[in-house]
Amino acid sequence: MRKRLSTLIILICIALALCGNAYAGKHLKPFKTKSHRTTLGTDSLPSDSIIKFAETLIGTPYRTATSDPLIGFDCSGFVSYVFKRFNFDVPRSSCEFINVGEKIRLEDAKPGDIILFTGTKKYTRKIGHIGIVLCNSANEFRFIHSTSGKEYCVTISTMDDNYKRRFVQIIRLLKTNDKT
């Protein structure tokens, strides 16, 4: 009896491992990384490739310390997942992004650039949130990010007063943004 019970438990564990996140997979539309790998070098990657891929992840739940589209993303997990998909060697932690790429003024930001913010604590200027610039026009500044705010998922936000107050830096990794 014990042997049958042990075998049954092992089989159940294997089945659960194989099914893994099947429930989450029904609600999320993960991008199939293997079949969509880019062959472009990072020096010639157009920003719309980054943006289109990032937009496929809209609605993925916010999840602290996670960078898996089947489970969720925190802000840096989302940005690192998107850029690693295109073979960029980027940090996993938001505060480490201040040390990569080229620093750009906010008014010079282009789609595909990375935007850095402080966290939500009022009296610290430490990087605590990041996203990817979508639009920077005279009328509008939008970015895509994974937020723990009311949306609690990957979403698109505008640069409102709250984000303006927390803004720290724009980081450019895409060399094609230098040419346009």
* Closest among 115, 124, 165 to 145, alpha carbons compared: 115
* Closest among 114, 117, 112, 129 to 170, alpha carbons compared: 114
CATH code for position 153:
3.90.1720.10
Give pLDDT tens digits for 69-109. 999 999 999 999 999 999 999 999 999 999 999 999 999 99
Is 31 a residue whose pLDDT tops 50?
no
17, part of any domain: no
47 and 111 in contact (C-beta within 8 Å)?
yes
Q: What's the domain range around 130? A: 28-179
d(CA 165, CA 22): 40
Structure-block tokens of residue 118: 């402080």
Number of folded domains that form the chain: 1
> What is the DSSP pairing of strand 167-172 with strand 154-158?
unpaired
109, part of any domain: yes
22, part of any domain: no
- The residue type of 2 is R
Give pLDDT tens digits for 103-132. 999 999 999 999 999 998 888 889 999 999
What one-character-per-residue DSSP string does 101-114 give? SEEE-GGG--TT-E
49, part of any domain: yes
1, part of any domain: no
Q: What is the pLDDT of residue 28?
A: 38
82, part of any domain: yes
5, part of any domain: no
